Amino acid sequence: MPSSCKDIRSALAQCLQESDCVMVQRHQANDCIRPPLSEELPTRCRQLLKALSECKRGMVDMRKRFRGNAPISVSKDLEGGQTAPPRQLYAGSPAFAVAKETDGNEAQMDPEKTRGL
């Protein structure tokens, strides 16, 4: 498994070992990540479980093979739903300029400059 998923996997294992499912109820960690016990896990463990599944999915997703998996700090699940602005796939300027908003009170076009259009 690539190093990008090893960190998440070890963090998930540590979180599961400290959870009530393993410590108090004495279930195996493997049982705790499957329903119906998975609903009782702390939010952090559920987020790490989802991050691990996304990391594993990214390893076989052909679209992400070129870009690679996003670092775990960029994950919106672990940062409370905050998302970064969308980034471009390739470097360079955007293909289309962002149109500015108008309020409808702009001056009309000059017929001399538009040649009668």
Say how far apart CA 82 and CA 16 lie, in whole Å.
25
Please write the tens of the pLDDT for every residue from 28-69. 988 988 988 888 899 999 999 999 998 888 888 777 666 666
Average pLDDT over residues 63-77: 58
For residues 85-89, give the mean pLDDT: 57
Structure tokens at 75: 């994950």
pLDDT at position 8 over 70: yes
Model pLDDT, residue 59: 80
pLDDT of residue 49: 92
Query: Residue 110's CB: how many other CB atoms inside 10 A?
Result: 7
15 close to 44: Cβ distance less than 8 angstroms: yes
How many other β-carbons are positioned within 10 Å of the β-carbon of residue 37? 16
